[in-house]
Chain A
Amino acid sequence: SQTIHQWPATLVQPVGSPLSLECTVEGTSNPNLYWYRQAAGRGLQLLFYSVGIGQISSEVPQNLSASRPQDRQFILSSKKLLLSDSGFYLCASRSGKRQETQYFGPGTRLLVL
């Protein structure tokens, strides 16, 4: 079974500073990878997904960007954080073309002050 790692677990950043959140996946190859943001106790909003190295689809216009430099690595970035970027960020992986189930990492709590 696959394992999704995310770091850092918690991050406090000032407004205007850059951001880099990393997600790596073990136990699978050529997965679809996803970044979600979750408001407190609520559902998940899809931010980006990737079907392969260098392939990024953006779901909502925003202050964030994503990159996939390696098959099992997915990075969420920002050049200048906004207060509204605070939230709980989740990385997910889906492997197997016939599988629609996604598996989630432990998440990163981001607080922008």
Chain B
Amino acid sequence: TQLLEQSPQFLSIQEGENLTVYCNSSSVFSSLQWYRQEPGEGPVLLVTVVTGGEVKKLKRLTFQFGDARKDSSLHITAAQPGDTGLYLCAGALGAQKLVFGQGTRLTINP
């Protein structure tokens, strides 16, 4: 049973389109992180959200933490080929560990 469900698992869209990736759980997280990973490299942190209802923006990326701190979304506006990669969400359960979603493989076609 996956504790953190991430969807969609695969997404291929044209340059300039908008998209949203979702992470959902029945568990409450003290914080949630979003990472982006290139093939053969380690995940790179994009953002950490901590407060229920929090919204953070990073250029064309908008991250939202659900009011109940059980879910999160990543919205990309006007996607570019450079946004291609594996996007991972991870929720903090307690003080020591993160639980990761399965990842969303995003491909932006020129």
Contact = CB atoms under 8 A, between A and B. Distances in A.
Interface of A: 4, 6, 32, 41-44, 46, 49, 51, 57, 88, 90, 92, 97, 100-107, 109
Contacts of A106: 41-42
Contact of A100 (B43, B44, B92): B92
Interface of B: 6, 30-31, 33, 35, 40-45, 48, 86, 88, 90, 92, 95-103, 105
A92 B96 CA distance: 12
B103 A51 contact: no
B88 to A, nearest CB: 6
Contacts of B35: 104
Contacts, number: 57
B105 A46 contact: no
Nearest to A106: B42
A107 B40 contact: yes
B40 A43 contact: no
Contact of B31 (A41, A49, A100): A100
Nearest to A45: B100
A92 B44 CA distance: 11
Given A41-B103, A41-B105, A43-B88, A102 B98 contact: yes
Given A42-B103, A44-B100, A107-B40, A101 B45 contact: yes
7 contacts: A42-B103, A43-B88, A100-B30, A100-B31, A100-B48, A100-B98, A105-B42
